[in-house]
Structure formats: structure tokens, C-alpha cells
Structure 1
Amino acid sequence: MSEAQASQDASSRRVVKHSVIIAGHRTSVSLEDAFWRALKDIAAQEDVSLAALIARVDAGRGEANLSSALRVFVLERIQQRRLID
């Protein structure tokens, strides 16, 4: 693995905290940078804001932790794409 690839891999694993407003309440969500990038891509594909996408996942997460629910959402979306392709 090259030094550039190792640096990019480390950057993707870095946990980043973002503040979002969900149902009128501000909350913080900590996710690895790779998941934030994936969520932003999905939001752009669906032509919705990142906050709207997170709110949608939040509304359907039940008792799950929001960060975990977002990771599972991204994973399931990637798996769906692989089945379609």
C-alpha cells in the first residue's frame, strides 16, 4: 500500500462530529468521515439536504443509536446498489 493510500484510509476512519437539527432539536452525530461522504452522496442523488436524509433515518431507527442507524443505512444502500448492478 502506498503512503498516499494509507493516508487516505486513515482519513476515512477519522471520526467527525457534526451538529444537525432533527425535529427542531439540535443533536450531534459522530461518524467516520467515509460515512459522512457516503451520506452526502446519497442526499445529493436523492436531491434532499443532508439534514433531511438524517431526519428520515432518525424517524425510522426505533431504539437504535442514530450513528449506528446511519451506518446501517449506508451499508444497506451500498448492498442494494450491488444487487441492481
Structure 2
Amino acid sequence: MCQIFAGQDPADYEPETRRLRLNGLSTSIRLERSFWRILDRIAAVQGLSTPAFVSRLHAEVLEGRGEARNFTSLLRCACLIGMQLEADDDLHGPAVQHRALDKGLGLRSLQGRAPSS
């Protein structure tokens, strides 16, 4: 059983640093490659580049909470949510996700929450 976890390719958990802009400021974010791949998929579903998705997420966190404490951990947790959404889509089909995207709704609506008006 543990070989599923212990036997993974070390390249998957190798840290990767990407440079991007958050609120107009250039910064670096360091995450394991597996997390970057998941963020790349989430961004693609949203119709955004990964830097644009991360920047938008950061802005929404600032708007909603006033600060983005431990943003890299927030990104890792966003990956878990993204994987849960993919699993739900595999079970229930992509109809819910596509309806949300067709209405121009963001990630919040994909989590099953009503968007704020």
C-alpha cells in the first residue's frame, strides 16, 4: 500500500519556483511540481493562464479577507479542492462545471457556493 506513496517519482515533489505578478508586484512562488501541474489544469478550466489565475485568486483573497497569509499553503489547498472537483466531475459529469463557466462564474461557484452579487 505505501508504495503508491513512497514509490512516486522524486521529480513530482521537486520544488519549482515560478515568477509572476501579484497586484502589480513581481514575486516568486515555490511549490512542488505536482501542485503546479494541478494549478495549470485549474487555470485552464477557468480559461486563464496559471499566472493570471494565481493573481486573480490572490486578489479575491485580499478582497475577502484583507490579507493573504500563507498564500502558498492556500494554493496547495486550492489544488486539493480542484482535485475534489475533478473527482466529482468524474462521478457526476461536467455539466455543473460547464454551467458555472458558461455563466462566467469563478472558482467560488465551482465549489458549490453561490456567487456574491
Which runs of 5 or more structure 2 residues have no equivalent in the other structure? 92-117
Q: Which runs of 4+ in 1 moved over 3 A?
A: 60-63
Task: Quote the Cα distance in structure 1 between the aligned partners of 2:17 and 2:76.
Answer: 14
TM-score if structure 2 supplies the norm length?
Answer: 0.60
TM-score if structure 1 supplies the norm length?
Answer: 0.79
Which runs of 5 or more structure 1 residues have no equivalent in the other structure? none
Size of the aligned set, in residue pairs, is 81
- Coordinate RMSD, CA, aligned: 2.0
Q: Which has the larger radius of gyration?
A: 2
Identity %: 28
Q: Counterpart of 2:29 in 1: which secondary structure?
A: strand
**1:17-50 Cα deviation digits (max 9, x unpaired):** 1111111100110000000111111111221111
Task: Quote the Cα distance in structure 2 between the aligned partners of 1:37 and 1:27.
Answer: 19
Which one has more relative contact order, counting CA pairs under 8 Å at least 6 apart?
1
